[in-house]
Amino acid sequence: MNNQCILIHYHEISLKGDNRSWFEKHFVENIKAQLHSLPYKKIKVLAARIFIIGIDRDCYEEYEKCLKNVMGLKNAYVMSRSDLNVDAINSEVQSQIKDLSFSTFRVSTKRQDKNFQYTSQDVNQIVGASIVAAYSKKVSLDNPDLNIIIEIVNGKAYIGYRKIIGYGGLPIGTGEKALSLISSGIDSPVASFLLAKRGVDVHYIHFHSVPSTSIQSINNVKAILMQLSKYQIQCSLYSVPLLSIQEKIMKNISSKYWVIFFRKAMYSISELLAKQLNINALITGENVGQVASQTISNIRAASDAVNIPVLRPLAGMNKEEIVNIAEDIGTYEISIKPYEDCCSFFVPKHPATSANLADVQNMEKAIRLEQYYEDLLEQITEERISIYE
């Protein structure tokens, strides 16, 4: 009988009340999606834990690679299930650690089943004493080489030491939909990831200036979304040819306002598409003060024309913090590849850094860009991107 399993602790789901089972259902479905090609017998929810039962312990690295990307997962352990008595627990512990190299250790027991006669501290002491007697190892509670995990749940003991650390947050699909203005730069993929970690079902809109710019930015975005699909499983990418709008802006607006008006157009088109898709929020990678277009005055001027909420999770972060996340989630190396996006290619030498809202609104009324947006919506192309590709 296969007594191997993975025991998962979820993160913020534990804070939910009467609808916790709904969050658990989404969490389990996401786990199944991540494990689609790995062996297991079944997944069950028990005592605020998720158990993946009947795994192949030799595939540990593959399980770890998949499960750490499941949004909502706090941590997980590869475990062996044993009978609930100290002899069986000690025997399983000895079996697992006999070939391991370590100098110090600790035993960490959690007892969900209060019917078991021993407390968590009792189990720690009993198992710890047997390890000291058998291997002459030292106990270190603060910084052990080996941390042996024992969980007492519903009449069984689960023992292991291999820990998988997740990103926490909430399961994908438990939040509403949002549309992310994605470029192939560093910031917007990180912003999208942070909202996905909140359970938001993120989809993407990318503006390009082909043929004035290379198609490489589109290819880079697709590569970024393939990486992000490891976390959010699947998404849609909507590609928008912005060049005709940019040409009208550059012909009729002072160059120092070009980027503001490019972004105004992006916001407005994104809002129109979001309404079509029944999406209630936009996401951007804007970071206050990072570049000229991201001063508070310019952010206000650029987004003034839209009524939809705009989520800016990077607004107060340092660039180093953003880069660290990008490196961790695997988008950084793609983002630093050479590319020309629809804004950077046309950036003037002296852009406005503190646009006057009234002036921008007057220019907006004169140029009347909104008359072209509906036609542009007809030119948008959609592509589905999935973890399974």
Confirm if 269 and 376 have CB atoms less than 8 A apart.
Answer: yes
Strand order in the sheet with 381-386: 310-311, 282-283, 177-181, 201-208, 234-241, 381-386
Is the pLDDT reported for residue 352 higher than 80?
no
Q: Which two tokens stand for residue 65?
A: 């690679």
CB contact burial 24-54 (16+ within 10 A = b; e otherwise): bebbbebbebbbeeeebeebebeeebbbbbe
Q: How far apart are CA 25 and CA 243, in angstroms?
A: 44
Is the pLDDT reported for residue 241 higher than 70?
yes
The whole-angstrom distance between residue 24's C-alpha and the CA centroid of its chain comes to 18
Whether CATH 3.30.2130.30 fits 4-165 = yes
Is the pLDDT reported for residue 36 higher than 90?
no
Q: What is the pLDDT of residue 388?
A: 82
Q: Which two tokens stand for residue 148?
A: 């042996």
The mean per-residue pLDDT over the stretch 293-304 comes to 85
Strand order in the sheet with 104-111: 42-46, 49-53, 4-10, 73-83, 156-165, 146-153, 104-111, 138-139
Contact partners, residue 378, CB within 8 Å, separation at least 6: none
Q: Which of 131, 126, 165, 125 is nearest to 145 (CA)?
A: 131
Is the pLDDT reported for residue 64 higher than 80?
yes
% pLDDT > 90, the chain: 75
Is the pLDDT reported for residue 298 higher than 90?
no
Domain 177-386 sits in CATH at 3.40.50.620
User: What band does 345 get if pLDDT is binned at 50, 70 and 90?
Assistant: low
150-175: pLDDT as tens digits: 999 999 999 999 999 999 999 999 99
Q: How far apart are CA 361 and CA 34, in angstroms?
A: 47
DSSP structural state of residue 170: B
User: What band does 1 get if pLDDT is binned at 50, 70 and 90?
Assistant: low
User: What band does 344 get if pLDDT is binned at 50, 70 and 90?
Assistant: low
Q: What is the pLDDT of residue 215?
A: 81
Is the pLDDT reported for residue 290 higher than 80?
no
Is the pLDDT reported for residue 213 higher than 80?
no
> Cis ω on the peptide bond leading into residue 171 (within 30° of 0)?
no
The mean per-residue pLDDT over the stretch 134-143 comes to 95
- Domain locations along the chain: 4-165, 177-386
Q: How far apart are CA 162 and CA 149, in angstroms?
A: 9
Is the pLDDT reported for residue 239 higher than 60?
yes
The mean per-residue pLDDT over the stretch 339-361 comes to 69
Mean pLDDT check: name the lowest of 17-21, 87-91, 269-273, 309-313.
17-21
Q: What is the pLDDT of residue 357?
A: 85
75-128: pLDDT as tens digits: 999 999 999 999 999 999 999 999 999 999 999 999 999 999 999 999 999 999
Q: What is the pLDDT of residue 223?
A: 96
